[in-house]
Chains A and B, each alone.
Chain A
Amino acid sequence: ETGVTQTPRHLVMGMTNKKSLKCEQHLGHNAMYWYKQSAKKPLELMFVYSLEERVENNSVPSRFSPECPNSSHLFLHLHTLQPEDSALYLCASSQGVWEQGHEKLFFGSGTQLSVL
């Protein structure tokens, strides 16, 4: 185990549903990330949080809404998604976003999302 837990593992939702993905890290890290993984495409960085403050929103549509209530928890709230949003959503954490030597990312196992 990497110390990063994501729930649920699988999620099927309709385009009008509202759901949330949860991520929890047990590593004492200060930075958390959401990535989107689609087949045969580079991992797509979505959001970056440092000490619960969002430092990056990588041109992600507003139907994805992140929330970081504390440095251990990260959520991704989903509403009115499109079928092309179907993908594996990965959460990651690191000790910090700026500190040299602490750039290694620790990933959760992901949530496989299917939008019907």
Chain B
Amino acid sequence: AQSVAQPEDQVNVAEGNPLTVKCTYSVSGNPYLFWYVQYPNRGLQFLLKYITGDNLVKGSYGFEAEFNKSQTSFHLKKPSALVSDSALYFCAVRDGGFKTIFGAGTRLFVKA
């Protein structure tokens, strides 16, 4: 069965510094990988996805993610964090079927 692990409950970073939010996955077959963001009192919003091709995927709001097949990881990154990036981030995986499975989420706190 597919699964997603987000090892950090919270990530703290200073504004202007680079940020990384970690994600590892387990799936049979080729994975479809996603990042979503949730702001307070809102539903999840799509950030980016990896289906195939270049291992570095660029998404919304300056975020990018790097797919590493050997480490089964899909870490979310941003070169320079903004206070407005503070939110709850979810990694998700789909195995080519119709189920999208999410991790528990990582809360990102960016301090001014």
Contact = CB atoms under 8 A, between A and B. Distances in A.
Interface of A: 2, 4, 6, 31, 35, 40-43, 45, 48, 50, 55-56, 90, 92, 97-98, 100-101, 103-110
Most buried by A among B9, B49, B90, B98: B98
A4 to B, nearest CB: 7
Interface string B73-104: 00000000000000000100010101111111
Chain B: interface residue count, which band?
A: 20 to 34
Nearest to A31: B98
B43 interface: yes
15 contacts: A31-B98, A40-B9, A40-B104, A42-B101, A45-B99, A50-B98, A56-B98, A90-B43, A92-B43, A100-B96, A103-B51, A103-B94, A107-B43, A107-B44, A109-B42
Contacts, number: 60
Interface of B: 4, 9, 32, 34, 36, 41-46, 49, 51, 90, 94, 96, 98-105
Nearest to B100: A105
